[in-house]
Amino acid sequence: MDNAQKIWDKLIAAGLTPAGAAGLLGNLYAESGLNPQNLQNTYEAKLGFTDATYTAAVDNGTYANFAKDCAGYGLAQWTYSTRKATLLNYAKAQGRSIGDLEMQLGYLLQELASLFPVVLATLRTTASVREASDCVLLQFERPANQSAENCARRAAIAQEFYDKFAGGTSMNYIMTDAALCAKALDIARNYKTSYMLGPWGWPANDKMIARATTNGSNAQTNKQWLTKANAIKGKGFLFDCVGLIKGILWGWNGDLSRTYGGAGYACNGVPDCDAKKMIDCCREVSTDFSTIIPGEVVWMDGHIGIYVGGGVVVESTPKWQGGVQCSTLANTAGTQKQSGTVGCRTWTKHGKLPWVDYTSAKEINEEGNDMQTYEQWKEYMDRYRQELRADHDQCWAESELAAAVAAGITNGARPHDFVTREEAAIMALRGTQQ
């Protein structure tokens, strides 16, 4: 990861909003180009140092005037003697170089909390990139040039970082269950995808494939899926199972030109969490799959997917075709694959995501409004079938169904559900062969 990504991740983890992180990042870029060893250019000739030699001299003690030389230094171009002295003491206490990126980020956040609490509070609450950028420039950095033009220039830089890391759109919405299902199905049916651990819809390009296979604890594991990833290079996306859900909720829109395919990071109130943490966050978690509704997540140890109705789950998995694909929910549909699915899987539990609105599916004409889309109709019919199942504890044709199962005509699953034309044709054919 480059410095911008590392700084962004650190700021988001520290509780800054995407807009707040972008506003601070834009100002740091304007000050130092995000180079933690940056010595103010006008002092290089005056002091006889380059960025590297100045950093080394401060670290080894041969240059002892760091705090009082009035030269801007580091990410934030710290200049005042008291702030530079505190920075130096902080670095020594950690046993780090004065030019260490992680050390400077830690000091920056400490300084904001202790000396600039109003600035930090703004960065943790604002949804406006411009507000965040102006706040940092005028109250934290306070450069000599505080003109309207400079404010606009830094805000423009901040907006570029926001567009890169946060998707460039409003990140303060709650997705409906129908929209979640529709987006999941769209990805499974209409996009080229490859499974890799970690990504949440990263474009399959050289940079992101290299990132997935060289950085982090999953790098070595991800190399086994390089062939598939390379096969969709430049035209597809990388997802893991929980990354599919996070990517959708973070605003993924299939933009190959964006770092994360148009998704943000840890936005919309959705944290960066693994599959176990996600199911633990859910409401109404149950092992009774007769109560499941479209838009809920389904979970088993180490894996998670999205139930989209009709006995179908959308999941990103290395199994079957290796990527985002539709599978059959064996808990309700049995082991006979549903049309358009690649395999069957039995899950352990299901639950409602806290970041999804599950009130979008209402009774037809509940308020005098007809259903206008296929998704609305499908969601209504799925709920209707669940009510049928709930109303019939016993099959009214139990003996006939048992005979059909014994004859191999049907597997007996979903006794109160509708039948597709494909299923009807298969059962009719089997019946004539008896």
Instruction: List phi, psi (to 5°) of 9.
Output: -60, -40
pLDDT of residue 1: 47
Cβ atoms 137, 143 nearer than 8 A: yes
Q: pLDDT, tens digit, for every residue of 215-228?
A: 888 999 999 999 99
Is the overall model pTM greater than 0.85, yes or no? Answer: no
Same domain, 264 and 296: yes
Same domain, 301 and 234: yes
User: Domain count of the chain?
Assistant: 3
User: 283-286 and 297-300 as β-strands: parallel, antiparallel, unpaired?
Assistant: unpaired
pLDDT of residue 266: 77
pLDDT of residue 258: 85
pLDDT of residue 360: 60
Whether the per-residue pLDDT at 390 is higher than 60: the answer is no
pLDDT of residue 422: 67
CA atoms within 13 A on the CB side of 269: 9
Mean pLDDT of 17-43: 94
CA distance 308 to 420: 17
pLDDT of residue 404: 81
Same domain, 317 and 427: no
Q: Supply the range of the domain harboring residue 256.
A: 169-391
CA distance 236 to 296: 26
Mean pLDDT of 126-131: 89
Q: Edge-to-edge strands of the sheet including 236-239?
A: 192-195, 236-239, 200-203
For residue 70, give every residue at least 6 positions away whose Cβ sits within 8 Å of its Cβ, in sequence order, or none: 43, 79, 81
Mean pLDDT of 284-293: 95
pLDDT of residue 350: 97
177-191, 259-273, 419-433: range with lowest mean pLDDT? 419-433
Instruction: List phi, psi (to 5°) of 39.
Output: -95, 135
Q: What percent of the chain has pLDDT over 90?
A: 66
| Of the residues 140, 166, 192, the one at which a domain ends | 166
Confidence label for 396 from pLDDT (cuts 50, 70 and 90):
low
Element (H, E) at 210: helix 206-214
2-11, 32-41, 87-96, 227-236: range with lowest mean pLDDT? 2-11
Round the average pLDDT of the chain to a whole number and report it. 87
Same domain, 177 and 145: no
Same domain, 365 and 314: yes
pLDDT of residue 366: 44
**SS3 state at 313:** strand
Q: pLDDT, tens digit, for every residue of 131-168?
A: 999 999 999 999 989 999 999 999 999 988 887 777 65
CA distances from 43 to 66, 75, 85 (A): 12, 16, 18
| Of the residues 166, 185, 201, the one at which a domain ends | 166
| Of the residues 132, 166, 200, the one at which a domain ends | 166
Instruction: List phi, psi (to 5°) of 138.
Output: -85, -25
pLDDT of residue 15: 87
Same domain, 69 and 185: no
Mean pLDDT of 378-402: 59
Structure tokens at 415: 């006794």
Same domain, 405 and 361: no
Same domain, 209 and 117: no
CA distances from 18 to 15, 252, 256, 355 (A): 9, 15, 21, 17
Whether the per-residue pLDDT at 236 is higher than 60: the answer is yes
Mean pLDDT of 185-194: 96
pLDDT of residue 328: 96
291-305, 358-372, 415-429 — most confident range? 291-305
Same domain, 160 and 184: no
Cβ atoms 307, 180 nearer than 8 A: no
CA distance 309 to 338: 11
- Of 18, 341, 326, give the one whose Cα is nearest residue 188: 326
CA distance 30 to 154: 7
Same domain, 279 and 292: yes
Q: pLDDT, tens digit, for every residue of 341-386?
A: 999 999 999 999 999 988 865 433 344 445 444 455 566 566 555 5
Q: pLDDT, tens digit, for every residue of 61-83?
A: 999 999 999 999 999 999 999 99
Same domain, 316 and 342: yes
